[in-house]
A and B are shown apart, each in its own frame.
Chain A
């Protein structure tokens, strides 16, 4: 997955802003490059769980569609654990077509990793950060 640098910075900032609670949102783009972030409410308001607000979810989908973008990934933060899908993340990954991005704040430096989760198996996906001006 390719992501513009300012989008990556935005989701890391979102994770830091919401910490110690988990943050969440959608990432959208076109031609395989993430260019748009939708920071959504975590209705669980928890440091261990997240759930999207369904109305916000549909609103983000419609906005992306109106802009000619595709929702490519869902992101959430792990404020105090590594950037890898938890058992619950895997269990609740119902959408087989979306990528799952995790922002970890557990280490000295924040870490972002992307996974494809299908049939309860998580596989890492390469994340390439592209300059804001390069595309």
Chain B
């Protein structure tokens, strides 16, 4: 299936691919520190392993951005 990941279309051969699995494929480090949108809607962090992607879905993820003195 074809999925857009952060705006780039990618062919993914894995079936029953969860958001958590997709983050692993995308080699996301510290997956607990990313926010994910599936087709423009936020995916709760607790639901990433039970939310599955399908053909033509658009998944975007961004790392937490913060810091301090």
Contacts and interface: CB of A to CB of B under 8 A. Distances in A.
Interface of A: 22, 24, 44, 46-52, 54, 57-58, 61-62, 65, 74, 76, 78, 80-81, 85-86, 88-89, 92-96, 98, 100
A94 B68 contact: no
A52 B63 CA distance: 10
B62 A86 contact: no
A46 B33 CA distance: 21
Given A65-B7, A86-B69, A58 B37 contact: yes
Contacts of B33: 94
Interface of B is mostly: strand
B50 to A, nearest CB: 21
A57 B68 contact: no
Contact of B68 (A50, A61, A65): A50
Which of B7, B30, B35, B67 has the most C-beta atoms of chain A within 10 angstroms of its own C-beta?
B67
Contacts of B69: 22, 47-49, 78, 80-81, 86, 88
Contact of A54 (B7, B29, B30, B35): B35
Nearest to A82: B69
B35 A49 contact: no
A94 B64 contact: yes
A121 to B, nearest CB: 14
- Among B7, B42, B62, max chain A CB count under 10 A is at B62
Contacts of A88: 67-69
A100 B63 CA distance: 13
A61 B68 CA distance: 23
A51 B64 contact: yes
Contacts of B62: 54, 57-58, 61
7 contacts: A47-B69, A48-B69, A50-B66, A58-B35, A76-B67, A85-B67, A88-B68
Contacts of A51: 64-66
